[in-house]
Structure 1
Amino acid sequence: MTDAQKQVQTAIDRMVDSGAERGVQVAVYRHGDLLVDAVAGVADPETGRPVTPGTVFYNFSIGKAATSTVAHVLADRGAFGYDTPVAELWPEFAAHGKGGVTVRHVLTHSAGVPGVPADTSVEDLCDWESMCAAIADAELWWEPGTAVGYHAYTFGYIVGEIVRRVTGKPISQVLQEVVTGPLGVADELYFGMPASEHGRLARLEDEAGSADMMDGLPEDLPMFKAGPLSLFPTAELGNRSDILAADIPAGGKTSARAMARLYAGLLGDVPGVRLISPERLREVTAVAAEGTDRIFGNESSWGLGYSIGLPGVEGKRSAFAMGGAGGSFAYGDTANGIAFAMTKNRLTVDFSAAMELIGIVTGATTES
């Protein structure tokens, strides 16, 4: 057992014992070696089913890293370029002046198409054709490339439809063929998870008081214009069987070890698997767009499909990451070869638990 494994296990046991977390997974690769594969707590409080390394969690936007990775694998194979207009691949998308939006704009959340219609229902989210038609008919919020604003749902459908147009296959199938299959994690990382597998999922639960926090936010925030409140990530939404089964590549259902292995694969550290070339890795993990987010108001830096840096850590430009609503987090680090993922089923409002664990892992691996 590595020092990192011991220290992480102690930390997540404490988080669960204190009542701060319900169920947690942490996985860490370094240069292809699995250093940490730790679990604590329960996946389902009603039955007492424990979390195992193979338990799958709905981690919301943590899955955008898988969506982006599919796009990069296809780009590496010549299917399109980052400066290819989306409408060249998906002609209907050009409506209402969107003909200038490129794949790069989409991957950097600068496309200017961050919202879904205010009357979008949960059922609509599960209807691929309906969502793509609505997005194709959307109007720009800003000139593409001139600002950044988190495309919470539209990111997944736009990238997913690009993938479908160039391959003729749904993105879930392409994910399995070019990413999760080669990495050996096809049964632990999904966009749409087959209903027959839902018994393996962790049950999500909201942190006490999270609804009150939402109620206290100003009604004129741009985030409330980007989609109806009923679509905001909650345990109720994330436990719905239709949401879990649907292809919604703005999020993902995954284990920590599958997500950590994805980042290890991007870093080129999984034996026999090279997802993208070293040159492309450098390109997609460099800052491509940054500024004050037009939707949420935070300062953000984006590579091509991954956020650059770690929350609250100054100058960590070698890290490329995606966090998920509720506090799950995963990243790769081109400087030290670390690929980290934390998944959990209590939805908290920040990434403090993940950052504590990242500090432990970084300290343990530096010492070793």
Structure 2
Amino acid sequence: MTPSLQQKVQSVLGELVGTGAETGLQVAVHQHGARVVDAVAGVADGRTGREMTPQTPVFSFSAGKLMSSLIAHLLVGTGVVGYDTPVADVWPEFGTHGKAATTLRHVLTHSAGVPAMPRGIGPADLTDWSRVCAAIADAEPRWPPGTMTGYHSYTFGFVVGEIARRATGKPMRQLLHEWVAAPLGIEGELYFGVPPADLARLARLEDAPTQPAAPPDVDAVLAPWERQPTAAMGNSHEILQADIPSVGTFTARGIAAMNAALIEGRLIGPHQLAEVTAVAFEGTDQVFGNNARLALGYPLGRIGARPDDSPTTFGWVGGGGSYVYADTATGISFAMTKTRLTPHFTAAQRLADLTTAEIGTHA
């Protein structure tokens, strides 16, 4: 451990819980192969008072996309597909309505043109893999693939997952276990689809007391449920047990260990890592309107920092306030999970800034 950073992170977590801003949190940080922070505070379940522990998995919404992106890179590493392989080569049905030229690279840069779930698909349908994939395959792209980018909220994981399933014959939950969790010794800490026997171990999410409902927006690309996470969705046993690889359940220490292994070269080679983390697409996000700078499967830059200040950092935020990132220059792998769903990332930015200030200048 690095006592100063461990103690400072623990102090911040204690303050956040003590003031009532948060109810339960985990933070884990690795640097250059060593875990330097492993801190928790608060409760995993506000109803029972069960304490948060480092081993408590937390459903953390889109921060789970990091796991899907890694599966895509490992798939490329096997040689069965490449980044520029057309999706329709392995999933022929996907090639309809102008999507024939869509490649895995387009999917990873959110430029495939299918950011929103097709009409008729709602949260309850996410547990039906075949139905969702059939609907996405039949969808018309909003723009020619590869020409623009826009956040693919739930479609991202299903497209990556169906490519992987068609290429390997295995679902994403199995690939995550066999290719990542088991080799790294972190079984029980990363899930697409939680086994029934493990449901009791999970944290229970809660909505922030003052969280406003998503305002109606007839011009919004994403449906309200795709834009604003809810505790009811994250606590649903049906959702938790389903393979929905745009979201995920994990511990902070598990996903930090995963990203540490990635940037240390224990999962893919240095040449592939360089390609994975380079700028692959930059432009205006057609869903949210912000400028997006994307690597293959990840936004570039640290939360709250200018992209030019953290060009070697990549990761994902999760709706509700979770955050996971890694930095190839400093060797930092950071993860924060939490139980209260907030409409902001104040805690994540504060803890990421603290980590950077303490160890982020030491490459």
Does the TM-score normalized on the shorter chain lie above 0.5?
yes
Find the counterpart in structure 1 of residue 238 from structure 2.
242
CA distance in 1 between counterparts of 2:124 and 2:343 reads: 26
CA apart distance, 1:73: 0.9
Asked if the contact 2:332–2:360 (Cα under 8 Å) also holds between the matched residues in 1, the reply is no
Structure 1 residues 166-181: aligned runs within 5 Å:
166-181=167-182
Q: Is the partner of 2:165 in helix, strand or coil?
A: helix
Of residues 233, 236, 253, the one that matches 2:249 is: 253
Of residues 292, 298, 303, the one that matches 1:300 is: 292
Matched, 1:267 2:266: no
Q: Which segments of 5 or more consecutive residues in structure 1 lack a partner in the other structure?
A: none
Find the counterpart in structure 1 of residue 82 from structure 2.
81
Asked if the contact 2:330–2:360 (Cα under 8 Å) also holds between the matched residues in 1, the reply is no
Q: TM-score, normalised by structure 2?
A: 0.96
Q: Is the partner of 1:330 in helix, strand or coil?
A: strand
CA apart distance, 1:207: 1.1
Asked if the contact 1:287–1:303 (Cα under 8 Å) also holds between the matched residues in 2, the reply is yes
CA apart distance, 1:298: 1.9
CA apart distance, 1:342: 0.3
Spell out, residue by residue over 1:233-269, the C-alpha distance to the aligned partner (whole angstroms, 9 max, x if none). Answer: 1111111000000000001100000110111011116
Q: TM-score, normalised by structure 1?
A: 0.95
CA apart distance, 1:3: 1.0
Find the counterpart in structure 1 of residue 218 from structure 2.
220
CA distance in 2 between counterparts of 1:329 and 1:136 reads: 30
CA apart distance, 1:229: 3.5
1:260 alignment partner AA: A
What is the Cα-based RMSD across aligned positions, in Å? 1.5
Taking a change above 3 Å as real, the CA distance of residues 367 and 77 of structure 1, as seen in their structure-2 partners, is closer
Identity of aligned residues (%): 52
Matched, 1:340 2:334: yes
Q: Which segments of 5 or more consecutive residues in structure 2 lack a partner in the other structure?
A: none
CA apart distance, 1:44: 0.3
Taking a change above 3 Å as real, the CA distance of residues 345 and 221 of structure 1, as seen in their structure-2 partners, is farther
Structure 1 residues 1-368: aligned runs within 5 Å:
1=1, 2-212=3-213, 214-215=214-215, 219-223=217-221, 226-227=222-223, 229=225, 232-268=228-264, 274-314=266-306, 315=308, 316-365=310-359
CA distance in 2 between counterparts of 1:166 and 1:338 reads: 32
1:146 alignment partner AA: T
Q: Is the partner of 1:96 in helix, strand or coil?
A: coil
Asked if the contact 1:188–1:254 (Cα under 8 Å) also holds between the matched residues in 2, the reply is yes
Spell out, residue by residue over 1:62-120, the C-alpha distance to the aligned partner (whole angstroms, 9 max, x if none). Answer: 11001010110110121111000000010000111110100000000000011112322
Asked if the contact 2:116–2:155 (Cα under 8 Å) also holds between the matched residues in 1, the reply is yes
Q: Is the partner of 1:261 in helix, strand or coil?
A: helix
Q: Is the partner of 1:308 in helix, strand or coil?
A: coil
CA distance in 1 between counterparts of 2:226 and 2:245 reads: 18
Taking a change above 3 Å as real, the CA distance of residues 94 and 7 of structure 1, as seen in their structure-2 partners, is same
CA apart distance, 1:186: 2.1
CA distance in 1 between counterparts of 2:12 and 2:237 reads: 32
Question: Number of residues paired by the alignment?
Answer: 359
CA distance in 1 between counterparts of 2:323 and 2:361 reads: 23
Taking a change above 3 Å as real, the CA distance of residues 350 and 237 of structure 1, as seen in their structure-2 partners, is same
Spell out, residue by residue over 1:34-65, the C-alpha distance to the aligned partner (whole angstroms, 9 max, x if none). Answer: 00000000000111000000000000011100
Q: Is the partner of 2:319 in helix, strand or coil?
A: coil
CA distance in 2 between counterparts of 1:39 and 1:296 reads: 33
Asked if the contact 2:107–2:159 (Cα under 8 Å) also holds between the matched residues in 1, the reply is yes
